[in-house]
Amino acid sequence: MGNFNRRDFLEILSAVTLACGTRDNTAAEHESSSSAVPPAGTYQPGRIQNEYYLYLPGERESLAAVPTVRDIATQGLTAQLGSQSRPMHIDDSFEGWRLLAIETIDGTLTAIFEKHVTHRGSIAFITERNGLVAQIPKLIGQLSSIRPRQISRPHGVGFDRPLTPGPDTGGEYILNSTEDPCYENVAAMGPEYIGWTLVANEEGGPQHSLYLDETGRSRQHAKTTQNIASPAQETQWAPDAMGALFDPGSIVGDLEHSHVKGYTKRTLLAGYLPIADIALWDPNHGAGYEVLVLLPPGQDTQPIGRMRSTIGTRQLAELEKFKDLHPEFFKDLKVVEQEGQTYLERYWNGSPTQFYTHLLIIWRRWSAFHESGMQVRIPDEWLVDAARAGLTLCRCSYTGLEPTYQVGEGGYTHATPTSDSLFPVAHYEFVWAHQLWNHTPDADRYFQHYLDRYVLPDGNFTYNTQDQVEAPLNVGVFLAISARSYFYARDVASLNARLPTLERMLGYVLQRYEYSKTHSKVGDRRRGLIWGSPEADLGSPKKDTPDAHPFFYQNAVWIWRGLHEHAQALRHAGAQSKSSQLMSAASRYAAVAREMRGYIESSLAATLSHCNEAMRSSGITPFTPDDTDRIPEQLSNYENHRFMEDWFLADWGNPALDAGHLKHRVLANAQIMGLGTSHAPAVTSNFMAHGTLSVLIRAEDYRPYLLALYTLVCYAADSGNRYAPEDAFMPDGHPLEGPAALWSAVVNSTLQPTIGLRWLLCYEESDAGVCHLQKAAPKHWFAAGETISVKQCPTRFGTIGWTTRATSDASWEILLDLPKDFGAELRIHVHPNSGKGLRSTSLGAIVGSSVRLTQAVLRSHPQPLRVAVST
C-alpha cells in the first residue's frame, strides 16, 4: 500500500457502479414518422416537458414546506414540520430536508437545509427567531432524472441543420399548428445548445470570471494572464494547458470517462444567479455528481465550490481501507446520505462557512435587484428567469461601470478597452434592457460613464478611432435611449448631464447630413441621407469618407428617429423645468427631424420607382438608393443579420417597407425557425435579433413573434445556463464550434430574452400614444386558473401594473394600477385558449383580440380599474 497515490485514489472513486438502473441514451420521445403534415390548423405539434422547471404532482408544495427550528446550537437543533419534530445534527435528514450546516451569519446562528425532488431542489436558510430568511430555488433535482432534452416529431418535421438553404419548414410547422409557440413545442423539434456556465461577480469583469463546461470543469487556466488579442486569434483555452482551475475529478473522483453527451444539466442557481449549478449523470453506471461554484464579491476574490458525487457500497468499503493510511486524501471529504442515496461531499477552495455566507450575500443582492425593478409573474417561470439572467450575466461581465461586449471570458475579451469591448451596439442594448425592466436610474450611471469616457470631442465614438468604424446610426440610438431615460424617470438633472456630450454627437452626424444636402443635386436619391459605414466589420478608419459606402437607409432613419425622440424629450423636460433653453433646442431639432424625414421619404419613393421589375413584383425593400437592380433571391449575410435589423429597430413607421424586408428574407431562404440566418443556413447572428423581435411585435399576428423569441432561448442559447453566442450554430451547437468570434457569448445575444419578454408583456407604439399589454402572450397563459401579473412596469406615459386572472376558459378579470396622469390609450390583449373571439367587456370596447381603453375612459373611472372580459 506504500505506493498508493492520488491517481489510485481517483481511480477508485471513478469506479462507482450504483445499482440505480440505467437510462436509455436516446431521446425516448423522438419519433421519425414520415407521415405527411395535416392541413394547417388541424394538428398539434410534438411536445416535451420543460425539465428545468418541471414539478411532478405534490413536489412544489413539498419544497415550499420548510421546517422551523428551535434549540439551535453549532452542531445541532430541533426541527419541526407540521406536527412532526426531531433533533438533528449536521448531515441528518428530516422529511427530505438535509441539514447542510449551521453557520453564524449576520451574527445569528443560521441553519442551512437542502432538499431535492425529481427535477428541482431548494436551499433554505432558517433561523430560530425569524424562521425562513431565504429560500433559493435549484434547477437540479435527483441526479438520475438527468437526460438529454427530448425530441418529439409526430409528423416527421423537426429542426436539424440543413445542408443547403431552404424554406423555413420547421417554423411554418409550428405556426400552422393549433398551438402557440412555446418551450414545449419549439424545443421538441431538435437538440439543444450545450454551453458553458458562468461564475462571476460585478467587480472582476470577464478576466476574473470562470466558465465551467458541461462536466463542471473550468475553461479558464489557473494563474494565467493571457488575453485574446482579436477574434481572429483562435485561442480555445484548452483546460490541460496549465491545468484547469476547477476540476470535479480533483475533488471527489474523475468521472470524465463516463460523460455521455446530453446527460448533463447546466444551470444558474435560482435560474438567474451568477452561480454555476451543474450536474452530470452516467446512464451506463448509474452514477453522477453535482457541482456548485460561486465567486464572492470583489475584484480579486477566488471562487468557492461544493461538490457531491454518488458512491456505491463496494467503493465506500474500499475507501475505508485506506482512510487511516492516507488521511490527506480524506481531509474535508465526508460521506453523507440524502434522499436515500450515499454521496461523497467536499468543499473546494473554502470552508462551508465561507460558501454559505457568500451564497446568501449573492442571493440577497440579485433577488433584491430584480424585485426592485419590474416584477413579473407569468405561467412560464423559465422565460422570466431567462430575462433576469440576461441582466445578471451582462452586469457581471462589465467591470464596475466599464463596458464589455464579451460575457465572461472569450473571443472578445481584452485586457484594456478596445474596439470590441466598446461596441456601441452592446452598450446601447445593455442600457435599453435596464430601462425596460425599470432600472433607469441605475442604467443612467452606466450610460453617463460611457458618454464621459468613450465619446470623442468631435462627437464620434472612441471605438471608431481604432481598427473599425461603426455605423453612425448608433448616435441616433443613443439619442433615443436618452429620451427613454427621461420619459421613464422624468429626471431633468440626469438629462442635462448628458446634453453636452449628446450635442457633440449630434454635431458629428448633422455635419454628414449637411454634406449630403450641399454635395447632392436636387433629385439625387442620396440627398439628405447620412454617409458612413453600415457595420463595424465593413468600416475602416482609413476609408471613412462619403464615397466609401452607399448611403444606407438604416443610418438615415435611425438618425431621424433619434432626433425625433430627443426633441420630444427636450420639449417635455423644458416644460417640466420651465427652461426656455431646452424648449428652444427642442424646436430646433424637431424642425431638423421633419426636414430629414422629408428627404428620406423622397429618396425611398424614388428608389422604389427605379427598382427593376423583379424587385417591384416581389415587393422587397431596397437597402440603399443604389439598390435597384438585384435578383430578389439574393440577400447578403450583413444585409440579413445587420442592415435589415437596424432598419426594423428604427421603426420608420411604414409597415409595407418592413414587410418587404421580411419577404426578402423568405425569398432568399435566409430564415430558420423565424430567425434570420448568417454565414450558413444553420448559423444565426442573434446579437441583432432584437431587430426581428421589434418588427414582429408590431404585427397583428403575434405568433411569429413567439416563434422567434422561443427559438432564441431554446436553440441560440443554452436553455439552462443562458450561454448565448454571437453567432449560434443551430441546433445542437456548442462553444469552440467555428471561429471564436462566432461561439463567444456576448452582451447582445444574452439580452434577447430580457428585451423580448418585456415587449411581449408591454409594448409602446413609437409614434402614437398607445400602450399594448400582453400583446404576444400565448393562448395557454389565458387558460382557466392562470395569472399574468406585472408590477412597476415603466412606460413613457407613466409606471403601471396589472394582473390578468383567468376565472374560466372563457372569462378574465383584469386589475389595472395606473397613475392619475397616465397619458396613453391602453390595448389589453387577451388570446383565449379556446381560440374563440372576445365578445364582451365591462369597460372600453372590443377591438379584435384586445380591449381598447381610451384616455377618456381611463380618466373617467377611479383607480384601481377592474375590467371583466369574456368570449
What pLDDT does residue 30 have?
46
- Which residue type occupies 451? L
Higher pLDDT, 716 or 740: 716
**Confidence check: pLDDT of 4 > 50:** no
Higher pLDDT, 749 or 246: 749
Higher pLDDT, 22 or 337: 337
What pLDDT does residue 784 have?
97
**Confidence check: pLDDT of 266 > 90:** yes
When computed from its CA atoms, the radius of gyration of the chain, rounded to whole angstroms, is 28
pLDDT band of 413, cuts 50, 70, 90: confident
The stretch 789-817 carries a mean pLDDT of 98
282-to-180, 263, 306 alpha-carbon distances in Å = 35, 7, 20
What pLDDT does residue 27 have?
44
> What is the H or E stretch that residue 265 is in?
strand 264-268
Model confidence over 135-150: pLDDT tens digits?
999 999 999 999 999 9
Helix ranges restricted to H, 254-310: none
Range in 28-37, 211-220, 632-641 the model is least confident about: 28-37
What pLDDT does residue 338 have?
85
The CA-CA-CA angle for residues 98, 99, 101, to 5°, reads: 140
Range in 20-29, 216-225, 678-687 the model is least confident about: 20-29
- 431-443 b/e with 16+ CB inside 10 Å = b? bbbbbbbbbbebb
**Confidence check: pLDDT of 631 > 80:** yes
What pLDDT does residue 222 have?
45
Which residue from 449, 594, 492, 469 is spatially nearest to 540, judged by alpha carbons?
Answer: 469
Q: How far apart are the first and last CA of the chain?
A: 79
What pLDDT does residue 420 have?
86
In sequence order, which residues have a C-beta less than 8 Å from that of residue 693 and are 6 or more positions away?
705, 708, 709, 752, 755, 756, 759
Tell me if the bond preceding 731 is cis, omega within 30° of 0.
yes
What pLDDT does residue 416 have?
62
The stretch 612-619 carries a mean pLDDT of 98
Mean pLDDT of the chain, nearest integer: 91
Model confidence over 79-113: pLDDT tens digits?
999 999 999 999 999 999 999 999 999 999 999 99
What pLDDT does residue 467 have?
82
What pLDDT does residue 704 have?
98
What pLDDT does residue 242 have?
57
**Confidence check: pLDDT of 326 > 90:** no
HSE (side-chain half, CA atoms, 13 Å) at 683: 17
231-to-252, 405, 536, 743 alpha-carbon distances in Å = 36, 12, 13, 10
pLDDT band of 232, cuts 50, 70, 90: very low
Find out whether 310 and 341 touch, Cβ atoms under 8 Å: yes
Model confidence over 552-607: pLDDT tens digits?
999 999 999 999 999 999 999 999 999 999 999 999 999 999 999 999 999 999 99
pLDDT band of 448, cuts 50, 70, 90: very high
431 grid coordinates? 442600457
pLDDT band of 774, cuts 50, 70, 90: very high
What pLDDT does residue 789 have?
98
**Confidence check: pLDDT of 322 > 90:** no
Q: Mark residue 762 as left, alpha or beta (left: phi above 0; alpha: psi -120 to 50; beta: remaining).
A: beta
d(CA 23, CA 17): 14
Find out whether 767 and 650 touch, Cβ atoms under 8 Å: no
Q: Is the pTM of this model over 0.75?
A: yes
390-to-50, 386, 395, 746 alpha-carbon distances in Å = 19, 6, 9, 10
726-to-105, 205, 404, 813 alpha-carbon distances in Å = 41, 19, 13, 41
**Confidence check: pLDDT of 235 > 70:** no
**Confidence check: pLDDT of 8 > 90:** no
**Confidence check: pLDDT of 672 > 90:** yes
Model confidence over 362-408: pLDDT tens digits?
999 999 999 999 999 999 999 999 999 999 999 999 999 999 999 99
d(CA 276, CA 196): 9
